[in-house]
Amino acid sequence: MLLERYLETIGSEAIQRALNLDGPRPALVRPTTDPKFGDFQINGAMKLAKELGRPPRELAQPIAEALRGIDAIEKAEVAGPGFVNIHLSNAWIAKTLTEALHDLDRDGVPPVEDPEKVIVDFSSPNIAKQMHVGHLRSTIIGDAISRILSFVGHDVVRDNHLGDWGTQFGLLIVGMREWGEEAALQSDPITELERVYKLASERAGRDEAFADQARAELAKLQSGDADNRKLWEHFVEVSRTALDAVYAELDVSFDVWLGESAYHEALPGVVDALLGKGIAREDDGAVCIFWDELDSAPKNLRKQKTPFIVRKKDGAFLYSTTDIATVLHRANALHADRALYVVDNRQGLHFQQLFAAMRLLGVDMALEHIGFGTVLGRDGKPLRTRDASGHVITLASLLEESKQRARARIDEGIAEGRLRVRPEEMDEVSRVVGIGAVKYADLRQNRLSDYQFDWDKMISFQGNAGPYLQYAYARCASIFAKGGLTMDDSAAEASILLETPTEQTLGRHLMRFADVVHQAAITSQPHLICEHVYELSRAFNGFYAECPVLDADGATRESRLGLTAMTARQIRRGLDLVGIGVVDRM
């Protein structure tokens, strides 16, 4: 159940009853800053004081009394200038947790009441260029957001908006003819395309005839020439194979791959529409949106002198034009309610302009830029994608390294007797731990901040790191194994009791899960779920240090097994919602 929403409902009804009002008023429920004041604070009296012209403490008194009669509430006291502090009842928490424990499908997380169709535009690397760390972040964050939104009940379309169209293909076509090696293209397509592209663009810079040739090939491609089309398809296909390998390793999938090329034919229409509605105008042969000339443009953009160019002087369309066509497709053909663009902060201005242009075109679908910061190296500077000798560090090699490092750490743990992994499970465990560590290091941060890439902190069985949480899960699972029990069977009939203080603390953490998941969905902040899982694991440690589980008796044993199962399931579900796996044994 959504705890804060429930408290808000009972709180606002209590206010109405207590003060004989014509209808409910907001209870304004907030978690308390210190558990010694209780679990939540109801601030509604403060606001009502103004409306009713009475001192807030005088209103808070009857509100507290009205709250005292409610099942969920153990204690309600007036505090400070007129807050009401409430302590939840342990019996009520235990009853609510028992219901969630029996809910194997959703772990007590209700679906949203108003599901929407949401496009998540993420990953979206450019063909013929190595994916950089920014694309890795987009892939990891976008996948997590998609999983979270689907779980709470939205209809999610995961779209990989590949950069698969544009001027580089003219250069690639002439370049491949000149320098291309088919074998290299097959074995390591992106590296080969990148190599050839560099040679070609360098040559075009000093050789006009060559540059002309490239432009001619591009024009042929764009007008549908069969040979060039075939070449282009080949480039895209081999690149996709390489990308698919990375996505498979990351366990990330897409529903559609509507890259830039998919919108190619819609681009002239976009420019016509912008011109027709007086949103864009011609300037020296180019077509641009001049924000400072548009009364209806958003304020911050109106100060912007540089225009949003949608067609260049030579007739070429741009990233901006394609993105406008893409929104139109998402709104008009896919009937989406929202689109989320998981792209790094540096493209912030682009999206502001894109969204403003769409408003001017009359599109009312919700559009959000889900930005994120930069990955820094140990030196605090943006992580370099080349090693000391200038070799590119590809994403594939980075993931390979993470698995190797995880394996080394696991070997260490086995040697020291902390971990136990069966030899035949070693590959799988190293993969889950290594890839999970890279993802967790990224996702535990508020996405807007930069973070430092640090192998040692990332692959750690202590502290706030992926392996630590996976270990916490395995430890819960091992309790069931040791007792010859299965987690689900033990949960099926169990009733939770919250007898000792550490059980009550653990119970309060477990109660927050549904709220956290919904909050993460609303704000597109997967780190909220990571935070929850981490704090839950710590609360579980506190419980486990003090409360025997298998050695307890009767109803206490049953309840403690239930608490353990629920902890394990929230860790597993929480990690799964951000795309991280677990193993039962390690």
Binding residues for ligand ARG, rule: CB under 6 A, are 121, 124-126, 161, 163, 323, 326, 341, 343
Residue closer to ligand ARG by CB (options 271, 340) is: 340
Tokens matching residue 73: 């509430």
Signed CA dihedral, 311, 316, 321, 325: sign only = positive
User: Rounded to the nearest whole angstrom, what is the least distance from the CB of residue 506 to ligand ARG in the complex?
Assistant: 42
Residue closer to ligand ARG by CB (options 98, 160) is: 160
Helix, strand, coil share (%) of the chain residues, nearest 5: 60, 10, 30
User: Rounded to the nearest whole angstrom, what is the least distance from the CB of residue 371 to ligand ARG in the complex?
Assistant: 11
Residue closer to ligand ARG by CB (options 323, 503) is: 323
Which of the 8 DSSP states describes residue 254?
Answer: -
User: Rounded to the nearest whole angstrom, what is the least distance from the CB of residue 349 to ligand ARG in the complex?
Assistant: 13
C-alpha to C-alpha distances, 449 to 137, 279, 293, 444, 445, nearest whole angstrom: 12, 35, 34, 11, 7
User: Rounded to the nearest whole angstrom, what is the least distance from the CB of residue 252 to ligand ARG in the complex?
Assistant: 15
In terms of residues, how long is the chain? 586
User: Rounded to the nearest whole angstrom, what is the least distance from the CB of residue 343 to ligand ARG in the complex?
Assistant: 5
Tokens matching residue 269: 């229409």
Under 8 Å between Cβ of 410 and 428: no
Residue closer to ligand ARG by CB (options 96, 239) is: 239
Q: Between 226-250 and 189-206, two packed helices, what is the crossing angle to 10 degrees?
A: 130
User: Rounded to the nearest whole angstrom, what is the least distance from the CB of residue 370 to ligand ARG in the complex?
Assistant: 11
Under 8 Å between Cβ of 63 and 44: yes
Could you tell me which residues are beta bridge partners of residue 84? 42, 78
Residue closer to ligand ARG by CB (options 135, 405) is: 135
User: Rounded to the nearest whole angstrom, what is the least distance from the CB of residue 274 to ligand ARG in the complex?
Assistant: 18
Under 8 Å between Cβ of 451 and 558: no
When computed from its CA atoms, the radius of gyration of the chain, rounded to whole angstroms, is 28
User: Rounded to the nearest whole angstrom, what is the least distance from the CB of residue 373 to ligand ARG in the complex?
Assistant: 15
Residue closer to ligand ARG by CB (options 326, 460) is: 326
User: Rounded to the nearest whole angstrom, what is the least distance from the CB of residue 529 to ligand ARG in the complex?
Assistant: 24
Neighbours of 409 (CB within 10 A): 21
User: Rounded to the nearest whole angstrom, what is the least distance from the CB of residue 301 to ligand ARG in the complex?
Assistant: 18
What is the 3-class SS of 450-486, one letter each residue?
A: CEECCHHHHCCCCCCCHHHHHHHHHHHHHHHHHCCCC
Amino acid at 381: K
Residue closer to ligand ARG by CB (options 246, 528) is: 246
Cα angle 405, 411, 412; round to 5? 90
Q: How many CA atoms lie within 13 A of 164 on its CB side?
A: 24
Amino acid at 145: I
Residue closer to ligand ARG by CB (options 10, 133) is: 133
Tokens matching residue 233: 């398809």
Residue closer to ligand ARG by CB (options 67, 190) is: 190
Residue closer to ligand ARG by CB (options 252, 469) is: 252
Under 8 Å between Cβ of 530 and 452: no
Q: Between 554-577 and 133-151, two packed helices, what is the crossing angle to 10 degrees?
A: 130
Q: How many CA atoms lie within 13 A of 504 on its CB side?
A: 12
User: Rounded to the nearest whole angstrom, what is the least distance from the CB of residue 161 to ligand ARG in the complex?
Assistant: 4
The sheet carrying 366-370 orders its strands as 155-159, 117-121, 338-342, 366-370
Under 8 Å between Cβ of 388 and 548: no
User: Rounded to the nearest whole angstrom, what is the least distance from the CB of residue 17 to ligand ARG in the complex?
Assistant: 51
Map tokens 């369309």 to a residue: 317
Map tokens 């290594």 to a residue: 434
Q: For the stretch 232-253, what's the b/e string if a residue is b when 16 or more beta carbons lie within 10 angstroms of its beta carbon?
A: beebbebbbebbeebbebbebe
C-alpha to C-alpha distances, 371 to 89, 351, 352, nearest whole angstrom: 41, 10, 12
Under 8 Å between Cβ of 576 and 146: no
Residue closer to ligand ARG by CB (options 66, 252) is: 252
Residue closer to ligand ARG by CB (options 382, 483) is: 382
Residue closer to ligand ARG by CB (options 142, 581) is: 142
Residue closer to ligand ARG by CB (options 321, 326) is: 326
User: Rounded to the nearest whole angstrom, what is the least distance from the CB of residue 120 to ligand ARG in the complex?
Assistant: 11
User: Rounded to the nearest whole angstrom, what is the least distance from the CB of residue 320 to ligand ARG in the complex?
Assistant: 9
